[in-house]
């Protein structure tokens, strides 16, 4: 039985915190709230567009529109060209420290399945220099929908020619894990937040962190939960 590892991109392989640092440098004291609003709206817009049955637009448009919302909410007005310049940092996100070694040592084919448009993902992978470690970089563009729509996960079988039961899907996004689990993948929830975060004092600016560190209550429990990619092989005993 061939086992294939498929990874989400944003927040799983690539650290969105590197984007927050860029925003904070540009707008001191606002970087965290802009990043959280941006990511929350980015996901919300992807779901709404899929649910409303609108003509499909790719994730680059969703990313720019959600950034515009976040900036406007913070009282920051930019031209469309400047919004695009800020959003283009999505092409240069940094890898989490353990990612490169993990991809190099997994004894199986590895691929990305992401909401990102193909051009966004290709730029991201090229800038990070991990193209040689990936067999495929799959965008949901071909499904004309965003995760967690089942058509997105079905792309893995059509592109990699592997049955769902032979796919290990790894994501830091709990909604993504729920969708993949329902589709029939073996799922690993990559929850990098330390356990003490669950009881740490919080303020409203940390809403996004609170939402990311809790499993979804959708009766689609991850098969495994790991704090880093280094622990995935140990959890799956490979």
Q: Which residues are catalytic?
A: 8
CATH topology of domain 4-15+92-236: Rossmann fold (3.40.50)
pLDDT one-digit tens code per residue, 57-70: 999 999 999 999 99
Domain 17-90 has CATH 1.10.150.240: yes
Burial of 12-38, coded b for 16+ CB within 10 Å and e otherwise, reads bbbbbeebbebbeeeeeebbbbbbbbb
- Burial tier of 132 (Cβ tally within 10 Å: 0-12, 13-18, 19+): exposed
Per-residue confidence (pLDDT) for residue 113, from 0 to 100: 98
Domain(s) of CATH 1.10.150.240: residues in the chain: 17-90
Angle of helix 59-73 relative to helix 118-128, nearest 10 degrees? Answer: 80
Task: Return d(Cα 21, Cα 25) in angstroms, integer.
Answer: 6
Handedness of CA 159, 167, 153, 92 (dihedral sign): negative
Domain(s) of CATH 3.40.50.1000: residues in the chain: 4-15+92-236
pLDDT band, very low/low/confident/very high, at 38 (cuts 50, 70, 90): very high
Higher-scoring residue by pLDDT: 202, 223:
223
Which residues have CB under 8 Å from 32's CB, separation 6+? 20, 24, 205
Query: What backbone phi and psi angles, to 5 degrees, belong to 226?
Result: -130, 150
pLDDT one-digit tens code per residue, 178-221: 999 999 999 999 998 766 555 556 665 566 666 666 677 777 88
- Using the predicted structure, report yes or no on whether residue 131 has a pLDDT greater than 60: yes
CA angle 211, 127, 111 (to 5 degrees): 65
């Amino acid at each position: 039985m061939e086992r294939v590892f498929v990874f989400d991109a944003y927040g799983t392989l690539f650290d969105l915190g590197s984007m927050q640092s860029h925003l904070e440098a540009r707008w001191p004291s606002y970087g965290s709230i802009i990043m959280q609003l941006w990511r929350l709206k980015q996901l919300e817009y992807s779901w709404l567009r899929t649910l409303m049955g609108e003509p499909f637009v790719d994730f680059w448009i969703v990313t720019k529109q959600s950034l515009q919302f976040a900036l406007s909410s913070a009282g920051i007005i930019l031209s469309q060209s400047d919004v695009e310049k800020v959003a283009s940092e999505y092409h240069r996100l940094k890898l989490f420290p353990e990612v490169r070694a993990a991809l190099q040592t997994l004894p199986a084919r590895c691929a990305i399945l992401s909401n990102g448009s193909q051009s966004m993902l290709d730029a991201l992978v090229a800038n990070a220099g991990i193209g040689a470690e990936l067999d495929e970089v799959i965008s949901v563009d071909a499904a004309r929908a965003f995760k967690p729509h089942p058509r997105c996960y079905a792309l893995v079988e059509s592109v990699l020619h592997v049955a769902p039961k032979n796919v290990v899907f790894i994501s830091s996004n709990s909604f993504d894990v729920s969708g993949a689990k329902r589709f029939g993948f073996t799922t690993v929830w990559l929850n990098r937040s330390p356990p003490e975060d669950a009881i740490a004092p919080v303020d409203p600016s940390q809403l996004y962190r609170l939402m990311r560190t809790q499993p979804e209550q959708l009766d689609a429990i991850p098969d495994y939960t790991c704090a880093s990619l280094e622990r995935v092989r140990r959890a799956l005993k490979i």
